[in-house]
Copies of this chain bind each other. A is one copy, B any other.
Amino acid sequence: MGLIVQKFGGTSVADSEKIKNVANAVIKEKLNGNDVVVVVSAMGHTTDNLIKLSKEITHHPQEREMDMLMSTGELISMSLLAMAINEKGYKAISLNGRQAGIQTENCHMCARIVNIDTKRIKECLNNGYIVVVAGFQGYCDNNEITTLGRGGSDTTAVALAGALKAQRCDIYSDVEGVYTTDPRVVQTAQKLKTISYEEMLELARVGANVLHPRSVETAKLYQIPMRVRSAFKLDDLGTLIIGVENMELNKPVTGLASDSSQIRIVICDVEDSPGNAAKLFDLLAGKNISVDMIIQSYARNMKKTNDIAFTISIDDYEKFNATKDEIMHIIKASNIFVDEDIVKVSIVGAGMIDRPGIAAKMFNTLAQEDINIKMISTSEIKISCLIEKDCAQKATKALAKAFELDGAKVADVKGDLPVL
């Protein structure tokens, strides 16, 4: 039949028993008559332990050496999985990033894949092997080892699926699929049978930790259907992520997520002269600080100055702090104010494109709960509101109810998709 790429996350391969379980899942797909390529993450806490070791040595490791170190985790899990599959009587071979032909840019710790030479993988498949590939890593010039950064193993899997023209890419983890909202907060949250790439992208960007946006972008680019499913419930098909054109849009809002990993920065009394905002964000980009939401208030005072507010990741706070004086100097602000008491709540849905009133409904819902909105940002298929941390649960529950994400009917595929 076809070719399926499977990816198993760290919790799915956390110990030898779990690796044997994964071997069963792989063999099950092989017995369906498919060729199978399996991408694995490092076992359980391996990556954390390696980071801990490096921190005992230095707080300023060379990125190249970190890649050398971090790339070992997947080599361990992939060889053990190949052994486990062989032990069960099926031919398997493990390939590291170099052997799997995963070529990246010449950069470390967040390299992008530039090319996949699939020759060796195809040879192995033609010889009847199940091919196990180390996730998260590749190589660049001079046989240097690179890693792909966050969401790296998912990206490896989807990129391989694209290069090999796979029929589907299955992402196995400890979650059972994509939910309308966080099931830990809203117990009646529904698992989606299908969701579009675009919606999944927005959900991933606003804090749903199921998939990294990068892998979804890649899947969308190659139009590879993805399944998010549980490694521990092999009969559950999870959630299928496909092109929006294959979906019936019966509801404006598909999903709801909250993200408490950001902080808000307010820069007060910035001189209202052309190019001042550009200077600020150029400076931040130069320091590799990603900015998410941005609001510039209208110059409302005699001095003709603006306030500029924006959000950044807590992880970048240290870098930002080191840049503070430079910012004050360059854009001549009077003060910089940091607000850590925020959470971003977002609703996402491809169906909101043609339906007015969704934003108003969101603001009203929050107002009825006495929740103050600090900032707002929107895209075609997403609305995000920054609110106080304490209100996150209350907001999520109210919005889930208002947009029928708590047990109501959910988006479904249009017609039959027999090949998936």
Contact = CB atoms under 8 A, between A and B. Distances in A.
Interface of A: 16-17, 19-20, 50, 53-54, 56-58, 60-62, 64-66, 68-69, 71-72, 75-76, 78-80, 82-84, 86-87, 93-94, 96, 98-99, 120, 142-145
Nearest to A73: B72
B69 A57 contact: no
B72 A57 contact: no
A72 B72 contact: yes
Given A96-B145, A98-B98, A145-B96, A69 B80 contact: yes
Given A19-B57, A75-B68, A83 B96 contact: no
Contacts of A145: 96
Determine the main DSSP class of A at the interface with B.
helix
25 contacts: A16-B53, A16-B56, A16-B57, A19-B57, A20-B57, A50-B76, A53-B80, A54-B80, A57-B87, A61-B83, A61-B86, A65-B82, A65-B83, A65-B94, A68-B75, A68-B79, A68-B82, A68-B94, A68-B96, A69-B75, A72-B75, A98-B98, A99-B142, A99-B143, A120-B142
A54 B62 CA distance: 31
Contact of A72 (B76, B99, B120, B143): B76
Nearest to A81: B57
Given A96-B145, A98-B98, A99-B143, A57 B76 contact: no
Contacts of A83: 54, 57-58, 61-62, 65, 69
A191 B142 CA distance: 45
Given A19-B57, A72-B72, A93 B64 contact: yes
- The 9 A-B pairs of least Cβ separation, nearest first, read A16-B56, A68-B79, A58-B87, A69-B79, A72-B72, A65-B79, A61-B83, A57-B83, A72-B75
A120 to B, nearest CB: 8
Contacts of A99: 142-144
Nearest to A49: B76
Nearest to A66: B79
A298 B330 CA distance: 99
Contacts of A50: 76
A143 B98 contact: yes
Contact of A65 (B61, B64, B86): B86
A126 to B, nearest CB: 15
